């Protein structure tokens, strides 16, 4: 079966800054859980460090924190071709020298069957977007404040 014949959910990306290039592996359990439960599928996972002089160096997805354990070996080779060297360079410009940035491109697999069902019914997704989490938290906080009621 080709990829286009499968139900495909929306594709998103995240760029995550690691100050001081401290890659401690925290959050990996949550990422693995999402993958194992079929909520997301990792299409690309890359990490680059920005040297103090501004040079960009790709990091192998193995032992990121130098503790002797393979942190991201399960995602080694996760390269769909959606991320290229220009994307890595652009993401590296988002962080300060001495920091690292992790890039994740993932499919929201939970949405694939819904999108397929809608297309089969003649509907098409005409827009999608993302509301920044900070904006949502601020709006919810505003609703809960005594002056909002």
3-state secondary structure 51-90: CCCCCEEEECCCCCCCCCCCCCHHHCCCECCCCCHHHHHH
| pLDDT > 70: percent of the chain | 80
Q: Does 95 reside within a domain?
A: yes
Give the residue numbers spanning the domain of 106.
7-110
* Residue 119: inside a domain: no
At 56-90, the pLDDT tens digits run 988 776 655 555 555 555 565 566 788 888 999 99
Q: How many domains does the chain have?
A: 1
Contact of 25 with 65, CB cutoff 8 Å: yes
DSSP β-bridge partners for residue 72: none
Q: Is residue 29 part of a domain?
A: yes
Indicate the pTM of the whole model.
Answer: 0.74
Q: Does residue 37 form part of some domain?
A: yes
Q: Look at residue 63 and tell me if it is in a domain.
A: yes
Residue with tokens 């999402």: 34
């Amino acid at each position: 079966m080709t990829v286009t014949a499968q139900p495909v959910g929306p594709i998103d990306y995240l760029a995550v800054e690691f100050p001081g290039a401290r890659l401690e592996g925290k959050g990996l359990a949550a990422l693995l859980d999402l993958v194992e439960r079929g909520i997301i599928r990792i299409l690309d996972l890359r990490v680059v460090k920005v040297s103090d002089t501004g040079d960009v160096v790709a990091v192998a997805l193995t032992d990121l924190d130098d503790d002797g354990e393979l942190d991201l070996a399960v995602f080694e080779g996760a390269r769909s071709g959606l991320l290229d060297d220009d994307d890595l360079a652009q993401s590296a410009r988002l962080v300060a020298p001495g920091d690292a940035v992790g890039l994740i491109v993932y499919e929201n697999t939970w949405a694939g069957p819904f999108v397929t069902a809608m297309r089969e019914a003649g509907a098409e997704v005409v827009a999608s977007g993302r509301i920044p989490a900070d904006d949502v938290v601020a709006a919810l906080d505003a609703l809960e404040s005594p002056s909002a009621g």
